[in-house]
Amino acid sequence: MSACEVYEDVIEFDASQQWLGLIIFVAEIVVIPITIVWWMTRSNHPLLAKRHFGLMVVSAFGILLQAIASGLTNYIGRDAFPCDLTLWLTLFYLPLACGPVATRLVLTTYRIRFGKLILEDVYEESEDFDPELYRTGSLAAVLRSFFRTLCSCTCESIHDINQMHTPNLMNQSNRRIYSRRLDLATVSPTAFQLSTATLDTTTSAGRPRRASRTQAIFFGKSNAFGIALQVLVTAITLFIGIGLSVAAETNFGFRGCYGCVVEGQPFVAYVSLGCLMLIIIAPTSIILWKTDDPIGIVHELRVVVILGLVVFIGTLLSIPDPGGVREHGKFDWLYIVALASFGVHLTQCVYPIFLTYRENSHKHGRRKDSTTLSMILESPGAKRIFQAYLAQEWSSENGVFLDAISRYRVRHNDLPTRDLVSRIVDIYATFIKDGSMLEVNLPSSIKSDLESKVLPLQALLESNAKELDIMPKPPLELFDRAYEEVYELVETDSFPRFQRSHLYKHAKASLSSRSEHSGP
């Protein structure tokens, strides 16, 4: 005798609902693996590389659990399917399917915030980008910074991105700090707002706090934090499930079965976890709704959030069961959950793949434009606008790296050997070294070659060796291969999208203005 047979209120659905459950299950069990393999065949595309493949796979696995718990269970029959297994599948759907979505939202929020910090440095008054702000500290220091600034960063992000507060430029000190940014306002108000979102980091007194906040936000956008957040959500679910099992006085699982009335315990847990997800999702969604999105990630997450609300509503409807349709086997409200979850997977997996094909068609079909990337980088105003665009698609490190190498080349002959070596070490630690905050995407061969050349120089610098004062200068071409690699990536990936963006016309206007001023 199964556990369900001791109850008289087992829910068995009509034949049409059983077949609908089977169709949902088969569709998901077939389509989800195919789309994941499809993604893997195009995983080298830059648009997919910016997304979290691991979280998408975990979410897909959780969605399959829901398909088994609702669709397959309804088809086989509630009295024939293991009761405890069904309940645990249903309970773990939330952390495994929705948990990665909440994690992606948090990571994306911190990505946006980190891009804004880089953009602020680009428009600083000083000529040189300061690598000290982007040095990774010890794990303990990073964690201390993260927990100390967690709430403040979230609040500042909501205020800065939504309000885009512009500082009081009537103040003489503020005018001096932002004097190099004012010309940007005439050609791109959007870029100017992005570049003047905060003010507190431009003074030397605020630099330690700025460095600490930068480390915290960098950790908040890292994969390590994403894994920790996902594990935490899963652990909370496990704790709630075990607690309910103990409360139901069973050795394993819940008393009764999925189709029985089990005092509403599984649904209470379900709704409780749903509220926890909403607490995570709500503030991040506010930020995402106000963010520009040239690479489609924010738009994708907006759709996912809407589908997540449909999932939550479907779960809520399962509790009161309006019209008694579920009680009488006419319709299972959890089919809404299953279909919305399937939509989440299609949005997270298929939509980005579609964007890669559309991107390729744009590249082949775009009209010729005489403006080149080198022209943009040579114009101070146009370069700032382009950097503002790179911040929108989370590629700021590429623009800053190209600028840092250009400055290295310009000042190579003027700097003493010791200062030049210090600059080389800074560039390596900031952009090249594995795990660096502004690490650019380079082949392992280039990184290994630079490591073999820079680490001996770093050892001499750290030991304060006198040899640095008499040795010949490192070659001007030291970073050429890395520069060419990043330049080609920006030219073929980010720059074509920039030419289709609303900021491009402002960059063109800046180029025209510069040519007029430099003309005869």
pLDDT in tens, 397-410: 999 999 999 999 99
Q: Which helix H or strand E contains 196, and what residues bound it? A: none
Residues 335 and 379 in one domain: no
Q: Which helix H or strand E contains 453, and what residues bound it? A: helix 444-462
Q: Return the pLDDT at 320.
A: 78
User: Across residues 22-26, what is the average pLDDT?
Assistant: 94
User: Across residues 20-44, what is the average pLDDT?
Assistant: 94
User: Across residues 51-61, what is the average pLDDT?
Assistant: 92
Is residue 141 in some structural domain? Answer: no
pLDDT tens, position by position, 251-284: 444 444 433 444 444 555 555 556 666 666 666 6
For residues 129 and 54, give the distance between their C-alpha atoms in angstroms, rounded to a whole number: 33
Residues 379 and 323 in one domain: no
Q: Which two tokens stand for residue 405?
A: 């190498």
* Type of residue at 128: D
Q: Which two tokens stand for residue 377?
A: 């980088």
Residues 250 and 361 in one domain: yes
Tell which wins on pLDDT, 487 or 235. 487
Is residue 69 in some structural domain? Answer: yes
- Write the CB contacts of 434 (distance below 8 Å, at least 6 apart in sequence): 447
Angle at 135 between CA 467 and CA 208, to 5 degrees: 110
Answer whether 414's CB lies under 8 Å from 476's CB.
no
Find the CATH number of the domain harbouring 74: 1.20.1070
Residues 282 and 348 in one domain: yes
Q: Return the pLDDT at 131.
A: 64
Find the CATH number of the domain harbouring 391: 1.10.167.10
Domain closes at, from 348, 365, 382: 365
> By residue range, what is the domain housing residue 350?
3-111+221-365
pLDDT tens, position by position, 415-437: 899 999 999 999 999 899 988 88
User: CA Rg, the chain, in Å?
Assistant: 27
Is the pLDDT reported for residue 163 higher than 50?
no
Q: Which of 138-152, 252-266, 295-309 has the lowest mean pLDDT?
A: 252-266
Total number of domains in the chain: 2
Is residue 349 in some structural domain? Answer: yes
Is residue 132 in some structural domain? Answer: no
pTM metric for this prediction: 0.77
Q: Return the pLDDT at 175.
A: 40
Which of 119, 128, 103, 110 has the alpha carbon at shortest distance from 213? 110
Residues 473 and 381 in one domain: yes
User: Across residues 213-222, what is the average pLDDT?
Assistant: 80
Residues 349 and 438 in one domain: no
Q: Which two tokens stand for residue 492?
A: 């073929």
Q: What is the dihedral angle through the alpha carbons of 74, 24, 65, 14, rounded to the nearest 10 degrees?
A: -10
Domain closes at, from 365, 397, 428: 365
Q: Which of 49-53, 264-268, 442-446, 491-495 has the lowest mean pLDDT?
A: 264-268
| Residue located via tokens 């800065």 | 160
User: Across residues 372-399, what is the average pLDDT?
Assistant: 89
Query: What per-residue string of b and e applies to 305-317 under the rule 16 or more CB within 10 Å gives b?
Result: bebbebbbebbeb
Is residue 485 in some structural domain? Answer: yes
Residues 327 and 234 in one domain: yes
